[in-house]
Structure 1
Amino acid sequence: MLPLSHRTKIVATLGPASSSPEIIRQLIEAGMTVARLNFSHGSYEDHATTIQRIREASEALDCPVTLLQDLQGPKVRVAQLPDRAGFQGQSAGAISLIQEAPIDLVPQDRADDCPNAIPIDYPFLAEEAELGMRILLDDGQLELEAIAIAPPVVTCKVIRGGLLKSRKGVNFPSLNLRLPSLTEKDRQDLEFGIVQGVDWVALSFVRTAEDIRTLKTFLRDRGAPNLPVIAKIEKPQAIAHLDDLVRECDGLMVARGDLGVEMKPEKVPLLQKKIIRACNQAGIPVITATQMLESMIENSRPTRAEASDVANAIADGTDAVMLSGESAVGKHPVAAVAMMARIASAMEPELEFVNFPPTEFSETNALSEALNVIDKIINLCCIAAFTTTGYTAKLAAAERPGVPVVAFTPEPLTYHRLNLIWGVIPLLIEEPVTSVESLVTAVENILRQRQIARSGDKILILGGSPIQQVRGTNFLKIHTLRDR
């Protein structure tokens, strides 16, 4: 098992730059704990090969890697632009939008009727459009304003111009679009992900808690009711329903790319803090994503501002920080993961996290609260949490203790899923455990073998009696490793 110098988890998106067996191994060795599979790109064959390579490297290194399936979601895009000379004057599959000039938008099925318009793959635009509304293209690089509506055409004025290429994204910040939370592609991708054994699934462009319920119903109908779901927060409607989403999902992602397009960029830093705090209070994991080390797509070192961005997210209490293009298509994927690990390792010893009151008044929550006091009084080596579902380990980690939470579990699914959770070191316990005494013996033996603890170290054991009772955590035990 690899030594873990940081408790903030690192999510790396795998892609052409990082899908070879050797690079995957190096990413794990550098500190990657979660591999993100972006289903906006790649074939099923590509993803299946990558998943197999991740599992093989994980087993060879004796280190769990969490597989995160990120669904594409209902993204509106520019359709294929026609290759016509004189079409706003530009190259094949692209047009130049000139500031202050008019330009028409039409549904792609009416493109032949309006040869000089921009076709988009959303059929209801003219029905829902409002005069004066903003329309953003290509991650907000280009901006239009609606000045006339004559169905099916919406005429716009170019506010911020530039080159527009086919298949670029289109955002309508003021509209609640008539789009399903799960597209047909998402459903097919989920079927594939379930068969492949992904550990978490992320739903894109979430608007309300009903979107999460729709996904969970689909998973239940497909025999995967316990597959945990992450809501990606990238729409204004999601911010408006944040409390409901926190209650309904298993984790959140601060997806700052589209969030910064749909909302004013100056609002994103405070929203990031608000989302992280809400997740910390609820005891669910949160990932901070997008452009964290963007310059490392090309450069071997990040900017000082990017390093500070990662550090501030860690100080805010994020469970994980994420790389997108940096690891998927960048020139330095391993260096980017290693840099995140170095920043986390430098930050964490200096932090004192806020401990929030319990969300439930149960025995397990009470014990999790108590471990905080014990951690502050006794010089512990680690907290050993015996868990079947992962629930106990997540509660313990949510307290942000000063020592690692070593999660002992007999369940391979739990073993892999827990590596997304801040401060948790998952360990698969294969020997039978039938009593508290055998649990203590197994914990001590494994901690010694893994060189996590040695004679004289104090550990805090969190578990349940009778053993292996789901959500049956009901005891704490301070245990000192004796000389052998």
Structure 2
Amino acid sequence: MKLSPSPMLFRRTKIVATIGPASRSREVIQQMLAAGMNVARLNFSHGDYKDHAETIALLRQVANAEATPLTLLQDLQGPKIRVGQLPQGSIELVEGEQVHLVPLTEEETQGIGIDYPYLAEEAQPGMQVLLDDGLLELVVEAVEGNRVTCRVVQGGTLKSRKGVNLPDLNLRLPSLTDKDKQDIQFGIEQGVDIISLSFVRRAEDLWELREYLAAHGASDMPVLAKIEKPQAVENLSAILGVADAIMVARGDLGVEMRVEKVPLLQKQIIRECNYRSIPVITATQMLESMIHNPRPTRAEASDVANAILDGTDAVMLSGESAVGAFPVQAVKMLARIAADVEPHLEFDNMPAYRNDETHALGEALTTITQILDLRAIACFTETGYTATIASGERVKPMIVAFTDRPRVYHWMNLLWGVKPILLETLPLTFEGMIAVAENQLKERQMATEGDKILILGGIPAQTPQGTNFIKIHTISA
């Protein structure tokens, strides 16, 4: 049975929800869509291909049945360093005691196995080693052969396969692991919409991903860079020159760098993305307490609200929707916070990032919307470029973006303030675009007689990044 549309249909801020054991059923996915989920994140650090294929098929089935756009984000595991398999599955690290870190091949007899072969070669006395998302801390005291002797600074229970962070090292690891490459091929075959690269350190990491996608027939696949390493922060400008989208991955970023630096970095990254009209997702621990509780803490609600005030395109749920007890309630809570915050948003009008016609028209959008009471902005796009620039202007009217390309349709579903509509074919004439915009908006009850709308498009049609006109139009009877 088709669910009634969400009252948050025209919410500007998008919601990304990670799919996991708690949300992999048809009923929960339907409820999350109705609550406001726009993007489903598939975490390839967990699960096998059979599980992922079944999940992707189910997500597509439900979205099609609900006639609702749902974007599939494939999140690659990346070069994550992990602890090996421990005896009895865990060991207790006691503050002040010594432990030994060794390559995985020597773990049973020598100490705790780590799957980073260069640790002994690169480690220096005084270097920090963080385990299990920074909950456990070691400091290097000595290196002998392949064995790195550490003192426990912050103890606790260490379980098998937990993550290892080495903030002081510029790791000699490939940006794309063999597992990532296999996962990418699987994602292309399954028709995912966006691929997210983990632990990006430099722009070249993204170029490698783009080259791999092109070699496998997916050169038009949007790529997202996760900012979670100090090197990524240092190389942010170059990374933004290659990435289609950005994720402020506050979890590992807050482990690799001092946690007090993360709030300001979040604001700086979002602002730079807004300036360049690059969509940005704010992620990790947004409603962490809702893994176990039906309501978030006041601090979490403030955190989400501040990310929206900063200008984030989307807010993301991780464990809250993947393994939490209240996945639907968590989506509803993000939607409710956005509904309360968005009427009060006031963004600075930044200068155009590029001197091209689309950016110039984007600047005009801001001025026109400040003078005229517009019902909507309609744009026609082959690549999503026009909608991306319009979204970056952060105008108050909703942006209705028309395309005839499914991949572009799903891409635009991530963009702030954009409602994508998939057409069988795009109109080829100026008059045709006006007619389609008017008819579609009236049919969908997005506009009525007498409403003013703006129309953006390009003539000749079907020219990538060829937007060259803007038309003020009044809806007829």
TM-score, reference length from structure 1: 0.96
Q: 1:107 aligns with which of 94, 103, 106?
A: 103
Could you report, residue by residue, the CA deviation over 1:95-147 in whole angstroms, capped at 9, with x for unpaired residues?
A: 11111111111011122441xx1111111110000110100000000000001
Structure 2 portions without partners, runs of 5+: none
- The farther-off stretch of 398-407 and 429-438 is 429-438
Q: Which amino acid aligns with 1:100?
A: G
Instruction: Kindly state the Cα deviation for residue 210 of structure 1 after the two structures are TM-superposed.
Output: 0.8
Q: Are the aligned partners of 1:327 and 1:334 in contact in 2 as well (CA < 8 Å)?
A: yes
1:8 aligns with 2:4: no
Displacement of 1:434 in angstroms is 2.2
Name the aligned partner's letter for residue 85 of structure 2: Q
Alignment-derived partner of residue 277 in structure 1: 271
Check the 8 A contact 1:431/1:442 in 2, yes or no. no
Of residues 72, 76, 81, the one that matches 1:71 is 76
1:94 aligns to 2:90 (yes or no): yes
1:351 aligns with 2:345: yes
Partner in structure 1 of residue 379 of structure 2: 385
Q: Distance in 2 between matches of 1:452 and 1:112?
A: 65
Query: Among residues 238, 241, 252, which one is paired with 1:247 in the alignment?
Result: 241
Distance of 2:203 and 2:365 partners within structure 1: 32
Match of 1:62 among 60, 67, 70: 67
Task: Give the superposition deviation at 1:467.
Answer: 2.1
Distance 2:12 2:334 in 1: 11
Letter in 1 for 2:94: I
Alignment-derived partner of residue 303 in structure 1: 297
Inter-partner Cα distance in structure 2 for 1:360 and 1:214: 25
User: Are 1:223 and 2:217 matched, yes or no?
Assistant: yes
The one-letter amino acid of 1:269's match is P
2:190 is aligned with 1:196: yes
Partner of 1:320: 314
Q: In structure 2, what is the equivalent of residue 177 of structure 1?
A: 171
- Output the CA distance in 2 between the equivalents of 1:55 and 1:112: 45
* TM-score calculated relative to the size of structure 2: 0.98
Is 1:26 equivalent to 2:31 in the alignment?
yes
1:420 aligns with 2:414: yes
Percent of aligned pairs with the same amino acid: 61
Whether contact under 8 Å (2:380, 2:426) holds in the other structure is no
Q: Partners in 1 of 2:426 and 2:109 — Cα distance? A: 71
Evaluate the alpha carbon distance shift between residue 218 and residue 432 of structure 1 in structure 2; reply closer, same or farther with a 3 A threshold: closer
Output the amino acid matched with 1:99: E
- State how far apart, in whole Å, the 1-side matches of 2:440 and 2:329 are: 32
Between the aligned partners of 1:271 and 1:121, the Cα distance in structure 2 is 30
Question: Does the 8 Å CA contact 1:66/1:419 hold for their aligned counterparts?
Answer: yes
Do structure 1's residue 448 and structure 2's residue 453 form an aligned pair?
A: no
Give 5+ residue unaligned stretches, structure 1.
Answer: 83-91
The answer as to 2:466 corresponding to 1:461 is: no
The CA distance in 1 between the partners of 2:357 and 2:400, in whole Å, is 20
Q: Residues 202 and 235 of structure 2 are in contact (CA less than 8 Å); yes or no, is this contact kept in structure 1?
A: yes
Amino acid at match of 1:105: L
SS at match of 2:335: helix
Tell me what 1:86 maps to. Answer: none
After superposition, give the CA deviation of every residue in 1:148-179 in whole Å (9 maximum; x if it has no partner).
11120000010000111110000000001111
- The residue identity in structure 1 corresponding to 2:75 is D
- Residue 212 (structure 1) aligns with: 206
Residue identity opposite 1:198 in structure 2: V
* Residue pair 1:142, 1:162 contacting (<8 A) in 2 also: yes
For the 8 Å contact 1:33–1:66, the answer to whether it is kept is: yes
**Is the contact between residue 77 and residue 180 of structure 2 (CA under 8 Å) also seen in structure 1?**
yes
- For 1:63 and 1:194, how far apart are their aligned partners in 2? 22
Name the SS of the counterpart of 1:482 in structure 2.
Answer: coil
Measured in 1, the distance between the counterparts of 2:426 and 2:29 equals: 33
Provide the aligned length of Structure 1 versus Structure 2: 472
Asked if 2 retains the 8 angstrom alpha-carbon contact of 1:5 and 1:345, the reply is no
Q: Secondary structure at the match of 1:420?
A: coil
Find the aligned partners of 2:6 and 2:213 in 1 and give their Cα distance. 33
Conserved in 1, the CA contact under 8 Å of 2:10 and 2:419?
A: no
Q: Which amino acid aligns with 1:461?
A: I
Distance 1:267 1:432, change over 3 A: closer
Q: 1:394 to 1:254 in 2, by over 3 A?
A: same
| Secondary structure of the corresponding residue to residue 239 of structure 1 | helix
Conserved? CA contact 1:213–1:248, under 8 Å:
yes
> Are the counterparts in 2 of residues 2 and 63 from structure 1 also a CA contact under 8 Å?
no
Distance 2:24 2:422 in 1: 26
1:419·1:426 contact (CA, 8 Å) conserved in 2? Answer: yes
Corresponding residue number in structure 2 for 1:42: 47
* TM superposition shift of 1:363: 1.1
Deviation at 1:358?
1.2
| 2:133–2:251 contact (8 Å) kept in structure 1 | yes
1:434–1:2 distance in 2 versus 1, CA, 3 Å:
farther
Q: For 1:367 and 1:130, how far apart are their aligned partners in 2?
A: 55
Matching residue within 311, 332, 338 for 2:326: 332
Mapped to 1, the partners of 2:411 and 2:23 lie a distance apart of 21
Any conservation in 2 of the 1:288–1:318 contact (CA below 8 Å)? yes
Q: Which secondary structure state, in structure 1, belongs to the residue aligned with residue 376 of structure 2?
A: strand
Q: Within 2, Cα distance between the matches of 1:167 and 1:384?
A: 49
The equivalent residue for 2:365 is 371
Letter in 2 for 1:77: R
AA at the equivalent of 1:28: L
**Structure 1 residue 438: Cα displacement:** 1.2
CA distance in 1 between partners of 2:336 and 2:426 (Å):
38
Counterpart amino acid of residue 175 in structure 2? S
1:205 aligns to what SS in structure 2? coil
